[in-house]
Structure 1
Amino acid sequence: MCYIGAIIFPTIGASMKLTTVATLLFSALSTQLVAAELDANKVKFIGPLADTATIKPNNTPYQAAIINNLLPKLQSDSKTLSILGKKVTWQPLGDVNDLTIAGLQAIKFNFSAERFVQGKLKLNGIEKAHVFLNGETLSGSKEYDINAVTGDHQVVIVVEQADDWKKVSLEYLPKAEHDIITLTTKETRALSAKQLFDAPTINSVSISPNGEYYVVTERHYQSNHGNKAINKTTLTDEEGKVLYRFDGLSANQIKWRADSKQVVFVRNKAVTVLNLKDLEEKVVAEQLDGAYGFQYFDNNTLVFAWSKSDKSKHTLVKHFRGLEDRWSYARNNSQIFMLDINSGFINPITEGKLSHSLADFDNKAGTILVTRNPSDYAKPPHMLTELVEVNLKDNQQTVLGQYRTFSSAKYADDGIYVVAGPDFANGLGRAIPENMLANNYDGQLYKLDRQGKNAKALSKSFDPAIGSMQVLRNDDVVIKVTERDTQQLYLYDESKARFTKLKTGFDVVGRFSISDERNPDLLVTGTQASHPQQLKRLDISKNRAKTLWDSKALAYDNSEIATLSEFNFTNKEGVEIKGRVYTPHNLDENKQYPALVYYYGGTSPVSRGFTGRYPFNLWAAQGYVVYVLQPTGATGFGQEFSAKHVNAWGEYTANDIIEGTKKFLAAHPYVNKDKVGNLGASYGGFMTMLLATKTDLFSASISHAGISNITSYWGQGWWGYLYSGEASKNSFPWNNPKLYSDHSPVFHADKVNSPLLLIHGDADTNVPPGESHNMYTALKLLGKDVELIEYKGTDHQVFARDRRFHWWDTMLAYFDMHLKDQPQWWQYIYK
């Protein structure tokens, strides 16, 4: 055959049956598209399946369930299948010479698409079948619509009736000349959206105090379960033997007694203790609606929180009592209680109009630490946290301190550790020039005495931003930090006043739990930028980890992962800006590729997680070179770097993104400079809109849940005034109108020249959907190229499986339309 573009013309003497590609077939006299038969040697057949069965699925009311239960095994790469004690082997469809075959049969084939394709799959000689594309059911009878994105795909056909297998064949009819699919038998496959979302993950862990047991919750999704996750929570010994299964529970809901002989959990509104010696359950309390967070105070007592929802809601009006009243839960009242396991008696520990949250407790001293938030808007961030100690002997409450910046507090033997921003204790943790305002999202570690006095700053010379912490038996502290674009664990050695990184081997640490031994062990999950999630156990004293579980072997073993490289540059102010680049598998540097530039720009960096809401590895698999950068203002790079976020609203950030993109393009000649897109979410969505008013560098842009008017976000978002307390510290529309107008994209909408897609959830409480409506209205009136997509009933993030896939498709289809000149996918979604 000779090849002209994507069209194949048969040469004289060539077989009219395609042997390598299902593609367009033209006759010499006509350009009409006709179906092309798929190469039967590249299509696999298996059967008979359960030939002893006399009743076929279509003769029962359970047809769908029978087929769906079989499907995962048919999708697997296994060469054989064992059914009812018999082993059945896959073989090429071309080798099947039978007239009739008993029972069920199945056919499957894999194909690749270099772009979004549409066509019809025609089944010849098959009277009754169920057809699945990547696990999703296709509707039809003899013909089935194929709509497939860039990448690798699998079609499975479960056949119930074929009268003559010698006459069975498959044909593909493309909708247009570019709708080419290529049958493939390659062992590796391009990364897919379903793979990233559905793959098994460990989403909760808990290790026993003595380190002899651990509980993990494994989660995955399947097409036949829709949006419902499939969870499995197991209690395991050190050797990995499963001892118990907790149905309907997550590992973080299971709390250990200090001697590791019991655990407590709540199931079906019943507070239950499980004895690990005999695995006997005992219900100790029932019908405690609104109670949560049960944990052992001592061997005989549980401490927990109990929340009562507001029942006095007015049906006609809402009289606001303060700024917090915009939160739907603001009038709920939560207090701390103790439950005696033996008698079931419940004793209240806190009360009052203010809710109390449990921070920590010391059963030896008979005290607990709680926090509460009285309304106080006097200073940024326009809230106040009180740290209170309750003495259980006389229920006396002592206010240890009132703080404008506060994250958490934990007891030590001789004091109290606190995580808070640099301004804690009158700026005790500040490590920035006098003329700068601190970014209090840049967490620091402090220590107070037991009276809440004599604060010491422990991390002023430690650049990573501190998040959560756990105090060990010897008063050392394990902290989770943001370090540049990674999430790491460090050990703070109190005796040496030294921070040591724990060698987890992860770029991004996820969940972790620590035993209470003299030499504690750490159970931890995490990922690398190019390696999916693992579960490890780390000996803290030796700082050495071993892998217990790896999702790569379970879901990604034959996957084509993007190539990752670092790309850093020094900006005009002499500051190094970190970044990384994902390139498609088997990149050909002689070709030109479109690119996507991603950033956040808010007060945290874009982490190196393997996947997430914005899956960079998937974008690379779709044929894009992806540049992710960490512009000025993010935490994890030192206090001076993060402080530049305050009162800037994109000033430094926009410059970094523009300069970084130009230098990225200069350093990567295989990127098409005229086909570069950019996108971001939340503050990153604000940055996308702002950039559209400042540069024509980008050919198409996407803003998800972005801010267009800083004033309306400040006054209307649930947390707008709190976030602005840091991002716009001491600046308000009345004393700094220039900041609020000059940095708001909608005030400069007339400068937008490139296509812009605005995406928002219509139930977004963080950044109200009106922020996208502002910009959409402006650009529509200006006659600009703008699209607005709202996800109904969706808040600030898109979580549900079906919505996540649609959302990912929407973004990629939009970029395909503008950066690949391929509008068909977008037109398919939004007909």
Structure 2
Amino acid sequence: MPDVSFMDVIWHFKNVNTMKAKDMRTFIIILFFIFLWQNGVAQSIVVDEYIHYGSFGIRTPLMNDPVDLNKKPFDFKSLMNQSLPVAVYAGKGEIVKTDNEGRITIRSSDESHRIGLLTFYMDAPVYCTPELQFEGLPEVAELYLNGKIQALQKGSAKLTLEPIRHELVIKYIAEPCKAYTIRTTIQDSVGLSPQATTNPSKRYSIYEVVNGRRIQSARISPDGKYYFVRYYHVFPDGKREEYAELIEAKSHKQVRTKNTSLKWMPASNLLYYVEEGAKGIDLITVDPATWQERTVASGLPTKSFTLSPTEDFIIYSKTDNGSAEKNAVKQVLHPDDRSRGWRNRSFLYKYDLQTGVIERLTFGRTSTSLQDISPDGRYLLFSSWNSDYTETPFICSTFCLFDLQKMKADTLLYNDRHVSRMAFSPDGKKLSVLASADAFDGLGRNLPDGQIINSYDKQLYLYDIATGQAEALTKEFDPSVKSVAWNRYDNLLYMTAEEGDKVLLYTIHPEKKQITPIKTTEEMVSEISFSSNSPDLIYYGVGLSNTQRLYSLDLKKRQEKLLHDVSAEILENVRLGEAGDWSFISSRGDSIPGRYYLPVDFDATKKYPMITYYYGGTNPTTRRLEGHYAPHVFAGMSFVVYVVQPRGSTGYGQELSARHVNDWGKKNADEIIEGVLKFCEEHPFVDKTKLGCVGASYGGFMTMYLQTVTDIFAAAVSHAGISNISAYWGEGLSGHSYSAIASAGNYPWNAEELYAGQSPLYRADKINTPLLLLHGTADTNVPTGQSYEMFMALKMLGKETALVVVDGENHGITNHANRIRWSQTMYAWFNKWLKDRPEWWEALYPEKDL
């Protein structure tokens, strides 16, 4: 049909007022059909090609008896389940094109029945419920949608399609010496019919995020000759399988095992595991070359322990249970008494693997935790902690050096509020210390006097055990340290650190204090493991547009080698849109970094709705392909995505991360709004009337707060967001400890403007944007009441809102089925308000007359 409009028709008839009756009827009829055409009513598409696999001859079994044990005769259709499983053979075979009328012919030319598959794909641009109509199918035929059988009645099937690519398979049995002329038609009424194709390429979706194989951990042997890699695989039905592979570095020979508990011994090149034996718990070593096992100790007191570097003893924790309240009426002794197990205390024990002697090492009213064991096995580094609300941070830790020979401990740090972790150097004389900039009397501070640090911005120090003196190693280093480990081979420190929205790998020379970046392919280094006797390291990581890849790295030659490309498996046939960096200079003169993601098959001449994603809290939104709010998934549904990094997050230097303290949305909101407007101004393909935003936790707070200060958004989503800062501070299990940093020095009784004035709940009357509130009912971090309160307020104010809770889920949605439904809820909300496509939302949450 030609591209015509109402104005074209009106111009053709020129003057409606002077039309004759006959012309008027013609005019109305034409307008009616143009309306149907432009609104996509009853569109029809004929499938014009298939992938045909078959046909293969099948025979009926020998009939020993006319009926089976249940007195039922043989059902020929049962042969459908015995051959050509759809999950294996769908999409295999040759492409067969139809004739001019959209028909193909399949024949069973001999006297046997023949079974085969006809596959095609449907790419649905929006949520839709098309009807498939089939002509000429064999009498025995089944229809599968994405591997699941569908009801096929009288040659038709009603489908429900999300806006992704779908696989359709017709499985048939052809009768002997018979031909079938098949035609498939897609009937759709939403206006954007799914396209039929034999091209298996697809857009990135939630199913690529939650399904498939992933690396769980990767460890290299002490001599660098073997890698032990643990995997998990999530199947479409949510079932999870775990296994591991032992890989020989030189030959790349792989051996798969179900024993995922295997670990490397600290020094010898053996794997070990524990299991219940005849004499209790056995410690068993495994030779990676021969897989020969040897029990080296029996009667261990526990399966959970730390093996000493000398391999002759283990250190483990044992819990003493505190007094439990037996009555329904219970006194809460401490704010942390709400947490399960707070009244219990853990203490350290030593078990000698040769003699079987157990020594209790610590005793008292305060729990002790192992930090590290010295390389010679003589000393332990342990910590204990308690709460003190007289100043922030509230947690006070004491670190002690314990001599196992003398059974004597020296206190290194007492009631320290800033140190997180300590570890021995290879010679046992120094300690690496992970802490905030205020540690050691502010030794690591790189801020103006009086400015409060962001304690989540971690620094690295070197502590001399003999002198008790510390040195700041990263004071002038902007990235925030995430992890640190000593390498016995070269005596260097290796650390991963947030550099902006990346996590990169660095070495630090402890004597020269020199920080050197190690070039890696991946922008997000997830985990490293190095050999203690060779210059070899393995790591895996992810990137902006790829998931996990595993590498080996020669630290001398600085040569990297790809070992396993998990990403290639996950992204097989997946098309991703363009993604890149985009920053702007704010009105305050700051460079505000960010990223953009464009839809697949992007056309700069078109207008697209845009979703803005942010966190706004203490950490940056990193360059990770996957995640609960994966930008490429939104882009796959034809949204432009803008990820903005407002100031206050770690990874950009101490001064910028410190801006998070006591801001609670004010400056962040300004920067997000300014970024959205400037992005739209520079990119005319964004429809400024169809802007959405989404965030979770502190980002959920930002979603709610943003709607109280701007009306630029047409839809907003908050997951587990904070609506009432005071309630979160007092009720969330970590509310008071997080607020000790985010609201340092301020409390509900001395900072009403912050706790009430910046709480979205107290500004709910200013919200005009349709707001979706999502929350897990078992959230212990940000209690569900935070969303209930905002929902109540918006309902009373008559504002557009919806609340969806997920039973049993905590701060993040982890259950496989729940995760998919939760994600669909978010997608459907944006489709409703940013694309004027309410069908998906209405299907998920139909109106109820209550």
Is TM more than 0.5 here? yes
Distance in 2, Cα, partners of 1:53 & 1:572: 79
Distance in 2, Cα, partners of 1:62 & 1:339: 64
Are the counterparts in 2 of residues 38 and 169 from structure 1 also a CA contact under 8 Å?
A: no
Are the counterparts in 1 of residues 620 and 651 from structure 2 also a CA contact under 8 Å?
A: yes
> Which among 199, 210, 216 is matched to residue 223 of structure 2?
210
Question: Counterpart of 2:395?
Answer: 383
Instruction: Write out per-residue CA displacement over residues 339-362 of structure 1, whole angstroms, 9 at most, x where no aligned residue.
Output: 333454443333333332221111
Are the counterparts in 2 of residues 400 and 451 from structure 1 also a CA contact under 8 Å?
A: no
Matched AA of 1:111: M
Distance in 2, Cα, partners of 1:249 & 1:735: 53
Quote the offset at 1:261 in angstroms: 3.0
> Which among 167, 180, 189 is matched to residue 176 of structure 1?
189
The answer on 1:96 being equivalent to 2:106 is yes
Find the residue that maps to 1:477 and give its secondary structure.
strand
Matched AA of 1:696: D
Quote the offset at 1:48 in angstroms: 3.9
Quote the offset at 1:437 in angstroms: 0.3
Matched AA of 2:208: Q
The answer on 1:592 being equivalent to 2:607 is yes
Distance in 1, Cα, partners of 2:176 & 2:46: 20
Distance in 2, Cα, partners of 1:360 & 1:787: 49
Question: Counterpart of 2:9?
Answer: none
In structure 2, relative to structure 1, the CA distance for the partners of 1:506 and 1:62 (3 Å cut) is: farther
In structure 2, relative to structure 1, the CA distance for the partners of 1:4 and 1:724 (3 Å cut) is: same
Distance in 2, Cα, partners of 1:201 & 1:501: 27
Find the residue that maps to 1:729 and give its secondary structure.
coil
Question: Counterpart of 2:258?
Answer: 247
The answer on 1:481 being equivalent to 2:503 is no
Matched AA of 2:217: S
Question: Counterpart of 2:678?
Answer: 663
Distance in 2, Cα, partners of 1:438 & 1:736: 19
Distance in 1, Cα, partners of 2:174 & 2:486: 65
Comparing 720-729 and 226-235, the one that deviates more: 226-235
> Which among 235, 238, 242 is matched to residue 222 of structure 1?
235
> Which among 139, 154, 163 is matched to residue 150 of structure 1?
163
Please show how residues 584-733 of structure 1 align to structure 2 within 5 Å: 584-733=599-748
Distance in 2, Cα, partners of 1:423 & 1:98: 81
The answer on 1:458 being equivalent to 2:469 is no
Distance in 2, Cα, partners of 1:64 & 1:644: 68
The answer on 1:360 being equivalent to 2:372 is yes
In structure 2, relative to structure 1, the CA distance for the partners of 1:659 and 1:395 (3 Å cut) is: same
The answer on 1:490 being equivalent to 2:497 is no
Matched AA of 1:626: V
Distance in 1, Cα, partners of 2:366 & 2:80: 52
Instruction: Write out per-residue CA displacement over residues 370-406 of structure 1, whole angstroms, 9 at most, x where no aligned residue.
Output: 1221232222121111212221113222221131122
Are the counterparts in 1 of residues 50 and 95 from structure 2 also a CA contact under 8 Å?
A: no
Work out the percentage of aligned pairs sharing the same amino acid.
Answer: 31
Instruction: Write out per-residue CA displacement over residues 387-435 of structure 1, whole angstroms, 9 at most, x where no aligned residue.
Output: 1222111322222113112221111132111001111112111101113
Matched AA of 1:737: E
Question: Counterpart of 1:13?
Answer: none
Please show how residues 103-118 of structure 1 align to structure 2 within 5 Å: 104-118=115-129
Distance in 2, Cα, partners of 1:286 & 1:369: 27
Please show how residues 297-696 of structure 1 align to structure 2 within 5 Å: 297-307=309-319, 312=324, 314=326, 316-364=328-376, 366-401=378-413, 402-412=415-425, 413=427, 414-450=429-465, 453-473=468-488, 474-517=490-533, 519-696=534-711
Matched AA of 1:376: D
Distance in 2, Cα, partners of 1:107 & 1:55: 29
Distance in 2, Cα, partners of 1:317 & 1:470: 48
Quote the offset at 1:792 in angstroms: 0.5
Question: Counterpart of 1:19?
Answer: none
Find the residue that maps to 2:539 and give its secondary structure.
strand
Unaligned runs of at least 5 residues, structure 2: 6-32, 99-103
Are the counterparts in 2 of residues 813 and 823 from structure 1 also a CA contact under 8 Å?
A: yes
Distance in 2, Cα, partners of 1:739 & 1:641: 20
Instruction: Write out per-residue CA displacement over residues 493-530 of structure 1, whole angstroms, 9 at most, x where no aligned residue.
Output: 1232111111111111112211112x532211111102
Distance in 1, Cα, partners of 2:671 & 2:813: 28
Quote the offset at 1:42 in angstroms: 1.4
Quote the offset at 1:332 in angstroms: 4.1
Distance in 2, Cα, partners of 1:420 & 1:599: 26
Distance in 1, Cα, partners of 2:309 & 2:742: 40
Q: State how many pairs are aligned.
A: 794
Question: Counterpart of 1:259?
Answer: 268
Instruction: Write out per-residue CA displacement over residues 32-90 of structure 1, whole angstroms, 9 at most, x where no aligned residue.
Output: 98795743x51223234573674999979998996799333224x544xxxxxxxxx67
Are the counterparts in 1 of residues 41 and 191 from structure 2 also a CA contact under 8 Å?
A: no
The answer on 1:760 being equivalent to 2:769 is no
Comparing 262-271 and 205-214, the one that deviates more: 262-271
Instruction: Write out per-residue CA displacement over residues 449-485 of structure 1, whole angstroms, 9 at most, x where no aligned residue.
Output: 2158212111110000001111112431111111100
Quote the offset at 1:134 in angstroms: 2.4
Are the counterparts in 2 of residues 36 and 171 from structure 1 also a CA contact under 8 Å?
A: no
Larger Rg: 2
In structure 2, relative to structure 1, the CA distance for the partners of 1:774 and 1:42 (3 Å cut) is: same
In structure 2, relative to structure 1, the CA distance for the partners of 1:243 and 1:107 (3 Å cut) is: closer
Distance in 1, Cα, partners of 2:380 & 2:714: 57
Are the counterparts in 2 of residues 400 and 452 from structure 1 also a CA contact under 8 Å?
A: no
Find the residue that maps to 1:774 and give its secondary structure.
helix
> Which among 200, 213, 233 is matched to residue 244 of structure 2?
233
Quote the offset at 1:755 in angstroms: 0.4
The answer on 1:45 being equivalent to 2:45 is no
In structure 2, relative to structure 1, the CA distance for the partners of 1:137 and 1:515 (3 Å cut) is: farther
Find the residue that maps to 2:677 and give its secondary structure.
helix
Please show how residues 18-97 of structure 1 align to structure 2 within 5 Å: 38-39=46-47, 41-48=48-55, 51=58, 54=61, 70-75=85-90, 77-79=91-93, 94-97=104-107
Matched AA of 2:272: V
Are the counterparts in 2 of residues 381 and 724 from structure 1 also a CA contact under 8 Å?
A: no
Are the counterparts in 1 of residues 611 and 691 from structure 2 also a CA contact under 8 Å?
A: yes
Are the counterparts in 1 of residues 43 and 191 from structure 2 also a CA contact under 8 Å?
A: no
In structure 2, relative to structure 1, the CA distance for the partners of 1:32 and 1:101 (3 Å cut) is: farther
Unaligned runs of at least 5 residues, structure 1: 6-24, 80-88
Find the residue that maps to 1:374 and give its secondary structure.
strand
Distance in 1, Cα, partners of 2:80 & 2:796: 52
In structure 2, relative to structure 1, the CA distance for the partners of 1:37 and 1:215 (3 Å cut) is: same
Distance in 1, Cα, partners of 2:777 & 2:76: 40
Quote the offset at 1:326 in angstroms: 1.8
In structure 2, relative to structure 1, the CA distance for the partners of 1:36 and 1:419 (3 Å cut) is: same
Distance in 1, Cα, partners of 2:168 & 2:191: 20
Quote the offset at 1:237 in angstroms: 1.1
Matched AA of 1:47: G
Instruction: Write out per-residue CA displacement over residues 142-171 of structure 1, whole angstroms, 9 at most, x where no aligned residue.
Output: 544311122322112334677897446364
Quote the offset at 1:289 in angstroms: 8.5
Question: Counterpart of 1:17?
Answer: none
Distance in 1, Cα, partners of 2:684 & 2:281: 63
Comparing 526-535 and 769-778, the one that deviates more: 526-535
In structure 2, relative to structure 1, the CA distance for the partners of 1:78 and 1:176 (3 Å cut) is: closer
